Amino acid sequence: MDYTVHDSGTLRELEMRGQITFEADTDFRTILGEWETAGIADCVLNLSAVDYMDSAGLGLLVMANNAARQAGITFRLKHPRGQVRDLIEISEFHTIIPCEF
């Protein structure tokens, strides 16, 4: 996995690319660590360029969502495609993390 950060005021959009699996764990922890210091109020995970996510990847979304809640940051997902969209729909993840399809 690989990602680009776009900040606009207190909104941070993270554009994710590649695969979100167990291997993305370190990147996710880095992302969460940076929230605190950057004064972010809203965070959007843009998934349009993610071509694969497994259940461990879903687990990372849960972890990020919980961390956001604790930090008082709103957290949402955007534009999942293909297998990632299927997985989010099957798992109804949009019912616990707001998702713009």
Partner 1 sequence: MSGGSPVVIGHPRPSAAGPLRDVLGRLGVRRVAVVDGDGLAQAVAEATADPPQLLLLHAGLPGFGPDLLVGLREMAQLRDVPILVLGRFASGSRRAELMRAGATDLLARPLTLAELAARLSVHLERRRLDRSLQEVIRSLHAYHHGAMQRMALARQMQLGLLPDAAACRSLEGRYGIAMDSHFESSSELGGDLWGARPLDDRRFALFLCDFTGHGVAAALNTFRLHTLLARTDLPADDPAETLRTLNGLLVGLLPEAQFAAMIYAVVDVSADRLVYATAGAPKPLVRQRDGGLEVGPSCGLPLGLAGGARYRNHSLDFPPGSTLLLFSDALYEARGWDGEMFGYGGVTDLVRGLGDDELERPLDLMLDRYFATVPRLLADDLTVLWISRSVGPRSGPD
Pick 37 or 95: Cβ nearer partner 1:
95
Contact set for partner 1, span 33-92 (CB under 8 A): 52, 54-56, 58-60, 62-63, 66, 83, 89-92
Q: Are 56 and 22 in contact (CB under 8 A)?
A: yes
**Strand positions, DSSP E, the chain:** 2-8, 11-20, 42-53, 74-78, 99-100
- Site size for partner 1 (CB under 8 A): 19
> Is residue 30 close enough to count as binding partner 1 by CB under 8 A?
no
What is the total residue count of the chain? 101
Q: What is the binding site for partner 1 (CB under 8 A)?
A: 22, 52, 54-56, 58-60, 62-63, 66, 83, 89-93, 95-96
